[in-house]
């Protein structure tokens, strides 16, 4: 069969010179029928190869049995092989210009063998029957800026495990796949839990294929291949379908900045640095060469692929700083651009191109940047000079806040501005407030263990911290285990310590977060004006001596809440606070009183005693290390 009559040559021309954002429809292994014969069409880009052969179980890995044809003079090789079907294991054997022969996995493979095996597997992604039509229709009109977004971040393999600490390789802690639940099994446990806990999004650490468990998925070898550790692509589709049925959006963590150096992956793919060559000094990876049209098409197609084939609702882009800067935002400066600067102009252009295309196709998407520098306009539209994301992780807020809670309360007054400073730049970008996986590993301690104080004070502080996050402007993200007060740091080879819920203090922490999350999803003042300065007002930002902060969150001039946070163990029988309007007020949520959201709290009538710039004030009891949310009684007008 003449391969040139089978391949879309115009599409391949666009891959090299223009935009081909569905390149996955052409490259890789596709089950098709040609001239009455069923088989698989293979297509791979290897411009510097002298020859390419397809090898696999079907030809006993004989590199002479199935040579591929050079389809174009731009280095695309292809072949149609009849009588091959799904489940076949294969690789490309690439003969390089310098006389070497190297085995490579398919960059566009849809499925892979379970590591440590590294071959690609033929898979048809179009057989799953989705049932999320209502979700897909509803999300077309989704406005994230005026909606509650409460994200539960998790590592799928260690959220829950069948067997704790069972390794294939003790030295490298490669977890035996039999320890994992697969995508379908985990769906039956995870989705009801998310619903019960009032999270409305999940963000999953990278699920693309990666060889080393200890990379957590951030060193990728198969960008279009969802990891086989947890089952097949259809199993993952089932998990996402179940999330959507429960009203839960799905965000993928994605790593477009750099790729893994493993021999079967993208490094020196055709004997040359085809996909990129700059070494990351800390990560042991290679940076993508964003100047190449083929690389940009590969990556942007990958992002579109997740939306198209897996119905995801958003992407968190990892390591944006390393894309924006030639030297990864680090102190050493070996690389310079043509103007002598350290900005990666092609990386910048790639991010803009990516976001423009995603929002053109998927206007409902969450596109969140993990960007750790002070790069301006990350969440501004491209036509306004921005990078085009709609959200950025608020890393400065996270660092300041966690530094603050680690302090002895006696000394917190000296760092009072670690809490107030975030509002100085609170509306410079659209922010997500993250307490992520990165903060509970490598000796940093778990979230609760960071908190200063006795065992009981740590729980009080964790509740206070959670209330501060929920009531601060910005969308919310918490890593698994935060919600139950797990003291042990996260380990990718051990599950969340669910047994802790047998202890009342941990179960109370879970119930607290459940109630607080519910309040967040149902209280408009906590999300309607997240990105509008009119949605926040300090009541008292200057109470340094008592380390007490108070502020308003507003959805309108009539609908608002007062928040009071006491970051010392000192209690007050009567604490006076200024209130916005004359009327009756009650505590609608208290970090110390179970049930935390108590509709039976008594109303307190305001007094005409000016305070905090208001004409009215109220007096309420305020416990040590306690947070209160106060709301005015609604007046029903006839």
pLDDT at 268 exceeding the cut of 60? yes
Structure tokens at 520: 């967040």
Are residues 180 and 159 in contact, defined by beta-carbon separation less than 8 angstroms? no
pLDDT-based confidence at 1, cuts 50/70/90? Answer: low
CATH number of 133-526: 3.20.20.80
Q: Among all residues, which ones are annotated catalytic?
A: 318, 370
Are residues 81 and 58 in contact, defined by beta-carbon separation less than 8 angstroms? yes
Q: What is the pLDDT of residue 535?
A: 98
The backbone torsions φ and ψ at residue 351, rounded to the nearest 5 degrees and listed phi first, read -60, -40
Q: What would the pLDDT profile of 526-572 be if each residue is shown by its tens digit?
A: 999 999 999 999 999 999 999 999 999 999 999 999 999 999 999 99
* Residue given tokens 């139950």 in the structure block: 484
Q: What is the pLDDT of residue 36?
A: 83
Q: What is the pLDDT of residue 280?
A: 83
Q: What is the pLDDT of residue 45?
A: 98
Q: How far is CA 164 from CA 5, 155, 170, 490, 562, in A?
A: 53, 15, 13, 13, 44
pLDDT at 335 exceeding the cut of 80? no
Are residues 243 and 360 in contact, defined by beta-carbon separation less than 8 angstroms? no
Q: What is the CA radius of gyration of the chain?
A: 27
DSSP assignment of 383-397 = GGTS---SEEE-HHH
Eight-class DSSP state of 467: H
pLDDT-based confidence at 2, cuts 50/70/90? Answer: low
pLDDT-based confidence at 65, cuts 50/70/90? Answer: confident
Q: What would the pLDDT profile of 594-622 be if each residue is shown by its tens digit?
A: 888 777 778 999 999 999 999 999 999 99
CATH superfamily of 3-104: Immunoglobulins (2.60.40.10)
Structure tokens at 340: 């002598």
Structure tokens at 225: 């291949």
Q: What is the pLDDT of residue 636?
A: 60
pLDDT at 174 exceeding the cut of 90? no
Q: What is the pLDDT of residue 498?
A: 97
Average pLDDT over residues 14-41: 93
393, 399, 401, 405 alpha-carbon torsion, rounded to 10°: 140
Q: Sheet with 69-70: list strands edge to edge.
A: 28-34, 37-45, 76-82, 69-70
Tell me where in the chain the CATH 3.20.20.80 domain(s) lie.
133-526
Q: What would the pLDDT profile of 103-112 be if each residue is shown by its tens digit?
A: 999 999 999 9
Are residues 19 and 32 in contact, defined by beta-carbon separation less than 8 angstroms? no
Q: What would the pLDDT profile of 516-528 be if each residue is shown by its tens digit?
A: 999 999 999 999 9
Tell me where in the chain the CATH 2.60.40.1180 domain(s) lie.
537-632
pLDDT at 326 exceeding the cut of 90? no
Q: What is the pLDDT of residue 163?
A: 80
Q: What is the pLDDT of residue 330?
A: 65
d(CA 553, CA 561): 5
pLDDT at 480 exceeding the cut of 90? yes
pLDDT-based confidence at 332, cuts 50/70/90? Answer: low
Q: How far is CA 115 from CA 189, 227, 228, 234, 258, in A?
A: 25, 9, 8, 19, 20
Q: What is the pLDDT of residue 75?
A: 95
Burial class (CB in 10 A: 0-12, 13-18, 19+), 374: exposed
How many Cβ atoms from other residues are within 10 Å of residue 34's Cβ? 14
Q: What is the pLDDT of residue 167?
A: 75
Q: What would the pLDDT profile of 127-171 be if each residue is shown by its tens digit?
A: 999 999 999 999 999 999 999 999 999 999 999 999 876 777 777
Q: What is the pLDDT of residue 123?
A: 97
Q: What is the pLDDT of residue 638?
A: 57
DSSP assignment of 334-383 = ----TTS-SB-HHHHHHHHHHHHHHHHH-TT-EEEE---S--TTTTS-GG
3-state secondary structure (DSSP) of residue 158: helix
Are residues 512 and 448 in contact, defined by beta-carbon separation less than 8 angstroms? no
106 contact partners, CB below 8 Å, separation of at least 6: 28, 29, 42, 44, 90, 91, 92, 120
Eight-class DSSP state of 602: P
Taking Cα atoms as reference points, which of 598, 618, 609, 478 lies closest to residue 550? 618
* Best-predicted range by mean pLDDT (53-67, 173-187, 247-261): 247-261
Give yes or no for a cis peptide into 116 (omega within 30° of 0): yes
pLDDT-based confidence at 348, cuts 50/70/90? Answer: very high
387 contact partners, CB below 8 Å, separation of at least 6: 320, 348, 351, 352, 355, 369, 375, 377, 378, 379, 380
d(CA 21, CA 80): 23
pLDDT-based confidence at 334, cuts 50/70/90? Answer: confident
CA angle centred on 141, ends 140 and 143, rounded to 5°: 120
d(CA 435, CA 153): 9
CATH number of 537-632: 2.60.40.1180
3-state secondary structure (DSSP) of residue 184: helix
pLDDT-based confidence at 181, cuts 50/70/90? Answer: very high
| Alpha-carbon 41 to chain mean position | 34
Tell me where in the chain the CATH 2.60.40.10 domain(s) lie.
3-104
pLDDT at 331 exceeding the cut of 70? no
d(CA 486, CA 498): 9
Eight-class DSSP state of 151: E
Task: Read off the pTM.
Answer: 0.96
Q: Give the 3-state DSSP-derived string for 13-62, with helices as H, strands as E and coil as C.
A: HHHHHCCCCCHHHCCEEEEEEECCEEEEEEEEECCCCCEEEEEEHHHCCC
């Amino acid at each position: 069969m003449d391969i040139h009559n089978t391949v879309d040559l115009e599409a391949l021309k666009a891959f090299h010179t223009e935009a081909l954002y569905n390149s996955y429809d052409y490259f890789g292994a596709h089950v098709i029928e040609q001239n009455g014969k069923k088989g698989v069409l293979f297509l791979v880009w290897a411009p510097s190869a002298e020859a390419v052969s397809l090898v696999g179980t079907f030809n006993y890995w004989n590199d002479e049995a199935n040579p591929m044809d050079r389809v174009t003079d731009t280095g695309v090789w292809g072949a149609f092989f009849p009588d091959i079907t799904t489940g076949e294991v294969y690789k490309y054997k690439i003969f390089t210009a310098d006389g070497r022969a190297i085995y490579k996995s398919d960059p566009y493979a849809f499925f892979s063998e379970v590591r440590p095996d590294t071959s690609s597997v033929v898979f048809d992604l179009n057989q799953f029957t989705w049932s999320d039509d209502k979700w897909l229709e509803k999300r077309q009109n989704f406005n994230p800026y005026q909606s509650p977004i409460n994200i539960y971040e998790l590592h799928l393999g260690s959220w829950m495990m069948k067997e704790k600490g069972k390794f294939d390789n003790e030295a490298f802690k490669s977890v035996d796949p039999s320890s994992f639940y697969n995508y379908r099994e985990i769906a039956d446990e995870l989705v009801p839990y998310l619903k019960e806990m009032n999270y409305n999004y999940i963000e999953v650490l990278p699920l693309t294929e990666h060889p080393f468990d200890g990379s957590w998925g951030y060193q990728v070898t198969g960008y279009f291949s969802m990891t086989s550790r947890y089952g097949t692509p259809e199993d993952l589709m089932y998990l996402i379908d179940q999330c959507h049925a429960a009203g839960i959006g799905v965000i993928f963590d994605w790593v477009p900045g750099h790729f893994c150096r493993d021999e079967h992956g993208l490094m020196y793919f055709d004997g040359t640095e085809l996909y990129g060559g700059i070494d990351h000094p800390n990560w042991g990876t290679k940076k993508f060469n964003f100047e190449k049209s083929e690389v940009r098409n590969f990556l942007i197609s990958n992002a579109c692929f997740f939306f198209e084939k897996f119905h995801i609702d958003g992407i968190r882009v990892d390591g944006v700083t390393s894309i924006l800067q030639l030297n990864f935002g680090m102190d050493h400066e070996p690389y310079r651009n043509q103007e002598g600067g350290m900005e990666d102009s092609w990386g910048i252009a790639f991010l803009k191109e990516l976001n423009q295309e995603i929002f053109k196709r998927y206007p409902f998407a969450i596109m969140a940047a993990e960007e750790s520098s002070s790069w301006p306009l990350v969440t501004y539209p491209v036509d306004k000079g921005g990078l085009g994301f709609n959200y950025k992780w608020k890393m400065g807020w996270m660092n300041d806040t966690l530094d603050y809670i680690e302090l002895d309360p006696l000394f917190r007054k000296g760092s009072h501005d670690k809490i107030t400073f975030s509002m100085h730049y609170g509306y410079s970008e659209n922010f997500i407030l993250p307490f992520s996986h990165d903060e509970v590993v490598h000796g940093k301690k778990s979230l609760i263990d960071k908190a200063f104080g006795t065992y009981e004070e740590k729980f009080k502080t964790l509740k206070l911290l959670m209330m501060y996050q929920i009531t601060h402007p910005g969308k919310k993200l918490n890593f698994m285990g935060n919600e139950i007060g797990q003291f042990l740091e996260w380990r990718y080879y051990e599950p969340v310590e669910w047994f802790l819920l047998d202890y009342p203090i941990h179960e109370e922490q879970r119930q607290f977060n459940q109630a607080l999350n519910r309040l967040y999803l149902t209280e408009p003042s906590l999300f309607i004006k997240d990105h509008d300065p009119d949605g926040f007002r300090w009541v008292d930002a200057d109470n340094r001596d008592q380390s007490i902060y108070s502020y308003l969150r507003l959805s309108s001039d009539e609908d608002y809440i007062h928040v009071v946070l006491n970051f010392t163990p000192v209690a007050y029988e009567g604490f006076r606070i200024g209130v916005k309007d004359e009327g009756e007020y009650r505590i609608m949520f208290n970090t110390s009183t179970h049930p935390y959201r108590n509709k039976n709290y008594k109303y307190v009538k305001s007094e005409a005693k000016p305070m905090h710039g208001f004409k009215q004030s109220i007096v309420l009891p305020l416990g040590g290390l306690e947070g209160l949310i106060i709301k005015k009684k609604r007046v029903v007008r006839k």
